[in-house]
Amino acid sequence: MLLSYIKSVGCCATFFTIIFLLLMESCTVGTGVWLAYWSSANVTTDQQRDIYIGIYGGIALGQGLFTFLLSICITLGSMVASRRLHHRLLVNIMHSPMTFFDTTPLGRIVNRFSKDLYIVDDTIPRCITDFLWCILDVIGNIVAISYATPLFLAVIPVLGLFYLYIQVSGATTGGLELNKIWVFSVESRHFELARVAKSVRDKRKPISCSR
């Protein structure tokens, strides 16, 4: 489903989204690195101070610009993906034989055009953006802290092992039961969508043959 959504967004929008996201995070890291370099420098004149302030302001301006461009790319990409997926869904429904509408409840068909498209319009772009943003933010913080305190690099493997230990051994019985319930609901939803999509494809075959 994720690959299908990325294909619907388009290669151009996906490429520029990743580029602007990387540039935005680079500017974010750059501000922290530049402040660390500025605090360790010996600034004695107003001219040196103005240079440091100007460079810091330029990095902050670039961060704001790339954030704005990133928001535009995400908005346009999600609109294009929603339009394409809605068109494909509408074409598949309109080319279905009457037996499909006799065996499928009308509420389930309407739900495909309402709730599922709402997820495509709102939830999926936000989840993908937050996921990429979180990964780059973690990497950026590690880079900034490592630049200011190189000794931090020796602590990263220990923290990683400690985090894995908590994830493996910290799961309680109640947590496992909640995970099972959540996984079961997600799988049930997935199988329901797959069954509807399969029925639509199967119903379309006689029409393509008759044509």
CA dihedral 131, 133, 136, 137 (to 10 degrees): -120
Helix (H) or strand (E) holding 1: none
CB distance 117 to 79 below 8 Å: no
Residue 185: both structure tokens together:
């609901």
- Say which amino acid occupies 67: T
Q: How confident is the model at residue 195 (pLDDT cuts 50, 70, 90)?
A: low
Q: How confident is the model at residue 68 (pLDDT cuts 50, 70, 90)?
A: very high
pLDDT attached to residue 191: 46
CB distance 179 to 71 below 8 Å: no
pLDDT score of 65 more than 90: yes
Altogether, the residues listed in the chain come to a count of: 211
- Say which amino acid occupies 23: L
More confident residue, 110 or 172: 110
- Determine the Cα–Cα distance for residues 136 and 1; give it in Å rounded to an integer: 23
Mean pLDDT check: name the lowest of 22-26, 111-115, 129-133: 111-115
**What is the rounded radius of gyration, in angstroms, for the C-alpha atoms of the chain?**
25
Mean per-residue pLDDT for 125-136? 84
* Cα angle: 26, vertex 4, 95; to 5 degrees: 150
pLDDT score of 8 more than 50: yes
Long-range Cβ pairs for the range 98-102 (8 Å, 24+): 99/203, 100/199, 100/200, 100/203
pLDDT score of 204 more than 90: no
User: Model confidence over 136-194: pLDDT tens digits?
Assistant: 888 888 887 787 778 878 888 888 888 788 777 755 444 545 454 544 454 455 445 44
CB-facing half-sphere around the CA of 109: CA atoms within 13 A: 15
Q: What distance lies between CA 70 and its chain's CA centroid?
A: 12
Predicted TM-score (pTM) of the model is 0.64
Average pLDDT of every residue of the chain: 76
CA dihedral 78, 82, 83, 86 (to 10 degrees): 170
pLDDT score of 11 more than 90: no
